[in-house]
Chain A
């Protein structure tokens, strides 16, 4: 006979807050891309202002999880869930911080000569965003297959980051006036690459949650 446990309610509550946080992080990423591509400074300011709320949600989840460990001593799937949440939450918070960093660079770029076109960078940003969205979906659905797919895509993002850097380097070589904005755009490329790394880390924990297998630091995610 199965019984409804207090623990199930706690898990649902934690999941709900984590998903709200995830949605806010996705939105911050989306807005940072818009700020970058459209040069929309109002949106950039908005992302920076919203970051505090995401930080608060991280603290809220941490506290709930620590209380749960203290009171319930979770085991098996419950334990893997709790461990996963504790690893995923800071990844999400870091992704939001990186979106904020993008916006800060966008604001700085508004005082610089514009570089057009921004080769590779838009695709890099969109790919990173899709990885984060898919990572959250994989967590919600407990889908280890989707998680592995996201992890494999990280190589594509790394490649795009490199190509974006090379393109920006040619701008710098062409004209020293491009150096300052091109460096800022190189930073932005790196921020998106690290957001994709965050999605990869989340997906590694999803595989652990579902299968109990630690796949990080191994060459073959399959």
Chain B
């Protein structure tokens, strides 16, 4: 198991928003987190690379291990953790810099100065993110001129540039049109050959299409976690059935 979660609780101040989450994420597979708004799925995904640390009075209790190491253990290098566990957000957030500089950003922060190495990694990352062909002749144009779908793939390329093992995606296609969404979904299928992917999505058909396993969250609890086929064809829990069939208002 790439990610191992046991009895994980999460609080914003006095408010408990995750209750005793137990979940194992297999390596090089896509795990989808689904559930209604406010169910805790985004809080949970942000716990996996400690992105919640930046929120005042937010704290987690319990165990989250990546490759067998507790990421909440004292002395954990959070920057190194986030390099291994990359993240892509709902709204693409390129820096107001060139396409090249966006992808090279993490490498430069990490101390890479060699121009050849930077250029190679930028090209490889853009290729992996299925964006290279569209931008290779304008790498030094502003990233802000790209379309929404291209910007999102640029953010994926930026996350891939630092060579992570895990990719967390928080509704990566929810702001995109159907064609751009299809590209992101195809990309996810290709990326899982090399990366472990956890994706939060409101689009249940997207979860059904891209994921191997699906976790259904409801009011801060993990209701059901199983093969995606089981969740969408024959779920065990009535609550899951009601959610995937749209019976919940």
A78 contacts chain B at the CB level, 8 A cutoff: yes
| Interface range on chain B (Cβ under 8 Å from partner) | 10 to 19
The residues of A that contact B56 with a CB separation of less than 8 Å are none
CA gap between A38 and B101 in the complex, in Å: 90
Task: Mark A1-20 against chain B: 1 for CB-CB distance below 8 A, else 0.
Answer: 11101010000000000000
CB contact between A76 and one of B205, B234, B248, B249 (< 8 Å): that residue = B234
> Which residue of the partner chain, among B234, B242, B245, contacts A212 with CB atoms under 8 Å?
B234
> Which A residues are in CB contact (< 8 Å) with B244?
75-76
Contacts of B125 in A (CB 8 A): none
- Asked if A78 and B245 make an inter-chain contact with CB atoms under 8 angstroms apart, the answer reads yes
For window 198-236 of B, CB contacts with A under 8 Å fall at 204-205, 208, 231-235
Question: B163 an interface residue at 8 Å Cβ cutoff?
Answer: no
Q: List CB contacts (< 8 Å) of A52-93 with chain B.
A: 73-80
Q: Assess whether B249 is in contact with A73, with CB atoms less than 8 Å apart.
A: no
Smallest Cβ distance from A85 to chain B, in angstroms? Answer: 16
Residues on A with C-beta less than 8 A from B204 are: 75
Across the interface, name the chain A residue whose C-beta is closest to B208. Answer: A75
**Can you name the residue of chain B whose Cβ is closest to the Cβ of A78?**
B245
Q: Please report the C-alpha to C-alpha distance between residue A76 and residue B205 in the assembled complex, in whole angstroms.
A: 12
Q: Are A212 and B233 in contact (CB under 8 A)?
A: yes
Could you say which residues of chain A place their CB within 8 Å of the CB of B245? 5, 7, 74-78
Contacts of A1 in B (CB 8 A): 248-249
Interchain CB contact under 8 A, A3 and B247: yes
* Chain A interface size, under 10 / 10 to 19 / 20 to 34 / 35 or more: 10 to 19
Given A77-B241, A79-B233, does the pair A5, B208 have CB atoms closer than 8 Å? no
Q: List, in ascending order, chain B residues with CB within 8 A of A5's CB.
A: 245-247
The residue on A at minimum CB distance from B236 is A212
Let me know if B29 is at the binding interface, CB within 8 A: no
What are the residues of chain B within 8 A of A77 when measuring CB–CB? 241, 245
**Per-position binary interface string of chain B over residues 157-178, scored 1 when its CB falls under 8 Å from any chain A CB and 0 otherwise:** 0000000000000000000000
- Residues of A whose CB lies within 8 Å of any CB of B are 1-3, 5, 7, 73-80, 212
Q: What 9 A-B pairs are tightest by C-beta distance, nearest first?
A: A212-B234, A3-B249, A75-B244, A1-B249, A76-B241, A75-B232, A78-B245, A76-B244, A76-B245
25 sampled A-B residue pairs with Cβ under 8 A: A1-B249, A2-B242, A2-B249, A3-B247, A3-B248, A3-B249, A5-B245, A5-B247, A7-B245, A7-B246, A74-B245, A75-B204, A75-B208, A75-B232, A75-B244, A75-B245, A76-B231, A76-B232, A76-B233, A76-B244, A76-B245, A79-B232, A79-B233, A80-B233, A80-B234
Apart from A1-B249, A5-B245, what are 6 other A-B pairs with CB-CB below 8 Å?
A1-B248, A2-B247, A73-B205, A75-B232, A76-B233, A212-B234
